[in-house]
Amino acid sequence: DTEVTQTPKHLVMGMTNKKSLKCEQHMGHRAMYWYKQKAKKPPELMFVYSYEKLSINESVPSRFSPECPNSSLLNLHLHALQPEDSALYLCASSREGGSNEKLFFGSGTQLSVL
């Protein structure tokens, strides 16, 4: 199984809503990532978890809150988002989060904030 599964595929939320994005992998990978990608732009790194510990936070606003309950699961909790947060949110995993490891991406959650 070389899949990273993200749910939901699409999400529409208001600025006062609280929602969560979920990501799951069963490849035994110990590093998991959240990327944000706006239309016609490259993916931008948000967070990295390595061995279930947050190792990188790219100065992301606190309205985005990551959580890694175990080595297979990664959540992104959303609260009080702004319309400019509308984007494709991509989860990825890699073997250990080390040098030159290829990333396995999920298909993403297309988020629209109204």
In the complex, the residues that contact another protein under the rule CB under 8 A are 4, 31, 40-45, 48, 50, 55-56, 58, 88, 90-92, 97-100, 102-108, 110
Nearest alpha carbon to residue 49 among 102, 88, 93: 93
CB of 13 to another protein, least distance (A): 19
Question: Minimum distance between the CB of residue 20 and another protein, rounded to whole angstroms?
Answer: 19
Pick between residue 41 and residue 77 the one whose CB is nearest to another protein: 41
Q: How far is residue 93's CA from residue 2's CA, in Å, rounded to a whole number?
A: 10
Nearest-approach distance from CB 65 to another protein, in angstroms: 20
Q: Which residues does 87 contact at the CB level (< 8 Å), separation at least 6? A: 36, 37, 38, 39, 111
**CA distance readout (Å), 106 to 20, 63, 81:** 16, 22, 22
Nearer to another protein by C-beta: 47 or 64? 47
Are 107 and 6 within 8 A, CB to CB?
yes
Shortest spacing between CB 55 and another protein, in angstroms = 6
